[in-house]
A and B are shown apart, each in its own frame.
Chain A
Amino acid sequence: MKRLSILCCLVAALAVARPARATVHVVTSLQDFASIADAVGGKRVDTFALAKGYQDPHFVEPKPSFVLKLSKADLLIVAGLELEIGYLPPLIDQSRNDKIRPGAPGYLDASNGCDILEKPTGTVTRAMGDVHPFGNPHYWLDPDNGRIIARSIAARLTEIDPSGAAEYKANLATFEAKLSEGEKRWDAALGPYAGTQVVTYHTSWPNFLKRFKLVAAGYIEPKPGIPPSPAHTVELINMMIEKKIPVILMEPYFDQKTPKAVAEKTGATLVTFIPSVGGVPEAKDYVGLFDYDVKLLVDALAAKKGKP
């Protein structure tokens, strides 16, 4: 009896000494949001990204295995602006998880509060290509928006897991400091090339270009989501030669055939730019993504235009 009492006391003491802390399960549509959630949530969260960083985020397949992840999620972070419209709505429905439905605390549209570009004005039709009626969804490629996303995630994690508020606040401060240091590096590296015109494959980079004062002179795609046509490619080549465009930026998930041909004709350097964390092993986290891309771009511009 005495032994039993001692055992009970030990169990009770352990229970008091180590209060159970449930991990917050975070599912994100993009690895970028998972990276920021990892930074802000620290050890209190685990994350899973539906789309890999090297995959086209417009065409993610709604696999049943994702239902398992979503069914256990406490927080779902999406890009919004209809980027996930082709796969996420049916998965949320099938998850049987009310916590992550739009409007619930566990559903976070990361675009809220961010600087969203290319919002169409006037009539929007699919004659304009695969256009997003609420604006360009590649907004996370501006570190200023990354800061806003991190603050949104910290606020939402605090709402879901109030006992972790102090930890989330401290982690957010650390993330913001790291991001600010990164911004100084990136501004210094790209500053000398302000105003440079570039060509990109898809309209994936308006936020990146605006943030670093670069200009998109044209696109390999004639319209968003529409593959390059011969007539458009000829026009693009002529424009690039005339304007002496030094660089073509392309995402890793498109065919290189046309961009390579355009680069050969115009003398521009073709740079495979990474749009998301995990796109290459070096882009391990959100800050690392910009470190990787900025270095690629600076090296290409320096080779064409000379070092500042």
Chain B
Amino acid sequence: MQGMGRIAVGCLLGWLLPGAGHLYMGKRVKGLVFLAIVTLTFAGGLLLKGRVYLADREQPLTYLATLANAAMGPMDLVGRYACYGRILFVNPPESDHPAYQEILSLKRARILSVTNEYGTTFLLTAGLMNILLLLDLFDIGIGRKR
């Protein structure tokens, strides 16, 4: 597979598993190092009681943060399940609805942890690292980078 198809497959693999795109492109050592670093950063975020963001219409910046988290691919789903007990991308509308109250109490439980902000930063950083890896794959694919 040549050209854009190869780049697309590499980026898809990279999104599914950090570093897998580099392995696919023949960068074995870099791929394994990236897999270890990004996975450790993500796992550190969960260990430090970080929380993944939920998109909230009232707070537009949460869309960017949610996008950064979602860049981790399937790992992000694990993070969402670990944080909220379900796979959720959008904050439930503010109301007396039980789902909203449940999510709010889960968020509060995490925020009360002294390492919550660090963990949240780790989780965001892992996602941003993977976005950079996808851009790097694109550069490798078009020959801009060796």
Q: Do A and B truly interact?
A: no
B residues with CB within 8 A of A: none
A residues with CB within 8 A of B: none
